[in-house]
Amino acid sequence: MDAALSLPLTLVVAQAGAGKTVLLNQWATDHGGVRFVWVDVEAGDDDPVRFARRLLAELAVVRPDISGLARMTSLNAGGIGGPLLQALAMELASFPELVIVLDDLHHLSNRTLLADLGVLVSAIPPNVHIVISTRVDPPIAWSGLRLRNKLLEIRQADLALTEPESAELLARMTGRDIPAEVMQVLVARTEGWAAGVQLAGITLRVHPDASDFVAEFGGTDRLIAEYLTEEVLAALPQRDRALLLRMSPLEDMTAGLVDHVLERSDALQLFERLERESMFLVSLDAHRERFRFHQLFRDLLRYRLRYEDPEQEVEVLVRAAEFHRARGQLPTAIEYLLRAGAWDRALDATMALGSEIFERGEMRTVIRWITTVPESVRTDRLDVSLELGILVGMQGEAAHAVDILSRVTNDLRATDGERAIAHAWISATTQWNPHPDETLRAAERAIDLLQSGPASPIPDVMRLTTPELLRTLTIGSGGRSHFLAGDLREAEAWLTRALDSEGIAYPPYRVGVLGSLALIRIWCGRAVEAELLVAEAFETAATSGLLAHPVIADAYLARAMVALERGSPDIAAAPLRDGTIRAEANHRTQLLWLARCQQAMLAVANGCLDEALELTDLSEHDAVSAPAPAILDRLIAARMTVLRRLGRPEESLRLRGGAAPTSATIAFETVAASLALGRTDSAHRMMPAMRAVFEVEGLRGDLQRLSAMAWTAELDGDHRTALDLIDASIDRAEPDGLIEVFMATDSVVLDLIAELAAERGGLAAAVIARRRQVEPQDANADLPEPLTERELEILAYLPNHSTSAELARFCFVSVNTLKTHMAHIYRKLAVTDRSAAIARARELGLLDRVNRTARSHA
């Protein structure tokens, strides 16, 4: 085990009762100078939110400031999640040497969670070591660690007690002189299995003849366990045997629970006696207030009780549920009721839970409770179907949620109130749905039902379905649907109505609506208004404990977009990352597409055009995960920008295939690509027809239109008009500090702004300062032998012309003359072929300059 302190992962795999936990406890005790974090994995930890919180809570004992990281786990239904893993790995690097023990990992079956653990192991820093104990190998690929000798594996054969160890254990347990030959046979037949040796020792304490016992003893590990347990139980007085059987259905046992369930008053003394008699009782805390039976022993006791008296098992489970429910411990009560098969009572207890499920992000557990109940029992409970649909939707499984809720809307037994709930929560799946028209129809139906006043009362589901809350949810969802569809005016109108509705007092709804409205405002270039809305969203989230909740994702992304539009990509990076983490928490696909669009814009702003090109590649997505129309338009426009700036305007135009622009940014890029090709006549024809498209996106669209007009005028030789148009554009952009909308234009426009900056300063000067940040220095002048203007011109055409003959014709030179120029270019750039020349030119930042040269020649 000491080798574990030099490796990232140690895997202890052996059957129940092999001594895994004892080994790890003793090893930890022997290494007092090393900090240990210990997580006893339980069945409930299959819920990723619960598991992540438990792990982070234990880590916080070592370093309390890491507790803030726990807020990232909210609603992370698919697993711990990539961004949280990265953040955790970085935090762990600042810990002292640390061993994280995950004991009994076999309780986890959630493959996403297990895969996340595999990622965590591969990412942990050298000061951290993870030790896993389990009965079965987890379905995680460790082959890479094995090949690099980074994995220590301890298995059943390594844990088997030797003959001297087994003999010593038996001697201590029995307090009897057992003949050596008897001991030898017994040790051989147990094959070092610690639990088998222990069970044998208990039986030998009361068996009159050790030789007879050993003679009858044999079989596989499973049979040994069954045989020895029967012997232990048979050797007990009937009263004690019945007592153990009745206690066996209980999980964590306290004196109060046992006294209530068994109708006695001496549970503390009972625990002490069972410990003295080595009846497989395990203490769960340092104060010795919570206990459980050894798992194998408990499981076998339960089997016997179920076989002998199943009604008594149900009675114990129900009484345990009553005990916990009376103390407000509903989750534990529900678990007992489900085990008892008390389906209706379990559902009633589940339905008594409120909105804290949503606020704390613990949907997976409640979904498991509901789906554990046979569907035939749930059929008549439309309230349960509604809650299940809501929870599944919150968890990010939008299609499944819509299916469940649609069945309620189509159920002849459903009341108008139940239908209103179903339609409202279908509309709430809009941030997961690539078809906002569908969620908008659901919102309109819900509003109609709510306005007409349902004839029957609206059921209370998680205290989230009052008429006021449903109206706010539905109007806000309708606003988001309009936004994703590209109807920005309607989106703003709906979200403003939601902000004025009664249900907006509920903090998660207020945070979400404020963030969504902020996104629309900055989408249209209204940065000051967006900034104020974001500030209010964060203030509400901070006072309500929602800073880690997915509902704050919109506000984070709006904050990132404000920074981007103001020409501060360095400031945008952090809120973009935080917004992505929260959107990933419950798989809000449309917000993730929006985040990806912002990542592409960030890459463009930082001059990483190849990265932006990769981010805007839309070839790999399906109909379910596709971006909604508004976000698709922005992604296409971003790709058009990248292609144009890479000197590929023809390819930029081909992206649209001749279709009419559907957004201001695409309209601008369509004109920009034409101007980059010197087609001012096309720009003149397009601009009037596109005016309405530009106007849809308000200020930002107007700035793009004015910039395109100024660019066109300058290429036409009308310098005065071009300056006037840019001057008007700067006037309009200045109050909101918008910079990046100009940076996405062209050197022609930026040169006009530079001319204005000398006179007026302000935003014009800020745009030019930003230009100096991102535009490379004249790398050509720094070359040992600079390229000539003619060579720069030829370099500009290399990416878009495949053959030397074609390029020669375009440059009006012979093929031989072209080859001479190419040879000079290769020599000066220190490359040997065409592809390398293009790559080197991009690396040096030459293509932006040479593309301007090519346009001027055209």
How far apart are the C-alpha atoms of 245 and 664, rounded to whole Å?
73
Which residues lie across from 12 on neighbouring strands? Answer: 133, 154
Range of the domain at 6: 2-156
Residues 709 and 796 in one domain: no
How far apart are the C-alpha atoms of 99 and 36, rounded to whole Å?
5
Distant-in-sequence, close-in-space partners of 570: CB < 8 Å, separation ≥ 6: none
Structural domain includes residue 567: no
Residues 127 and 229 in one domain: no
Residues 202 and 230 in one domain: yes
pLDDT of residue 83: 67
Structural domain includes residue 323: no
pLDDT of residue 853: 42
Residue after which a domain boundary falls, among 719, 748, 774: 774
How far apart are the C-alpha atoms of 384 and 374, rounded to whole Å?
12
Residues 683 and 807 in one domain: no
Structural domain includes residue 210: yes
What SS3 string covers 548-615?
Answer: CCHHHHHHHHHHHHHHHHCCCHHHHHHHHHHHHHHHHHCCCHHHHHHHHHHHHHHHHHCCCHHHHHHH
Q: Give the domain CATH number at 33.
A: 3.40.50.300
Structural domain includes residue 303: no
Structural domain includes residue 26: yes
- 3-class state of residue 36 by DSSP: strand
Task: For strands 151-155 and 9-13, give the pairing.
Answer: parallel
Structural domain includes residue 643: no
Residues 805 and 751 in one domain: no
Residue after which a domain boundary falls, among 742, 774, 806: 774
Long-range contacts of 723-732 (CB under 8 A, 24+ apart): 723/752, 723/755, 723/756, 726/752, 726/753, 726/756, 727/756, 727/760, 729/703, 730/756, 730/760, 730/762, 730/763, 730/764, 730/767, 732/699, 732/702, 732/703, 732/706
> In Å, what is the CA distance from 720 to each residue of 26, 329, 357, 723, 732?
85, 76, 63, 5, 19
Structural domain includes residue 187: yes
Residues 681 and 751 in one domain: yes
Please give the tally of structural domains in the chain: 4
Structural domain includes residue 177: yes
Other CB atoms within 10 A of residue 774 CB: 15
Residues 107 and 139 in one domain: yes
Residues 848 and 761 in one domain: no
- Residue pair 572/560 in contact (Cβ under 8 Å)? The answer is yes
> In Å, what is the CA distance from 117 to each residue of 11, 45, 57, 84, 105?
13, 13, 17, 11, 11
Residue after which a domain boundary falls, among 181, 202, 235: 235
Q: Give the domain CATH number at 690.
A: 1.25.40
pLDDT of residue 226: 65
Residues 721 and 812 in one domain: no
Residues 207 and 63 in one domain: no
Residues 184 and 150 in one domain: no
Distant-in-sequence, close-in-space partners of 581: CB < 8 Å, separation ≥ 6: 72, 81, 83, 84, 87
- 3-class state of residue 764 by DSSP: helix
Residues 19 and 142 in one domain: yes
Q: Name residues of the chain where pLDDT drops below 70.
A: 67-83, 206, 215-232, 278, 295-296, 358, 454-455, 621-623, 776-778, 801-802, 848-858
pLDDT of residue 799: 79
Which residues lie across from 38 on neighbouring strands? Answer: 101
Q: What angle do CA 824, 825, 831 make, to 5 degrees?
A: 110
The model carries a pTM of 0.73
What SS3 string covers 820-844?
Answer: HHHHHHHHHHCCCCHHHHHHHHHHH
> In Å, what is the CA distance from 736 to each residue of 11, 212, 524, 699?
57, 93, 11, 10
Q: Give the domain CATH number at 826.
A: 1.10.10.10
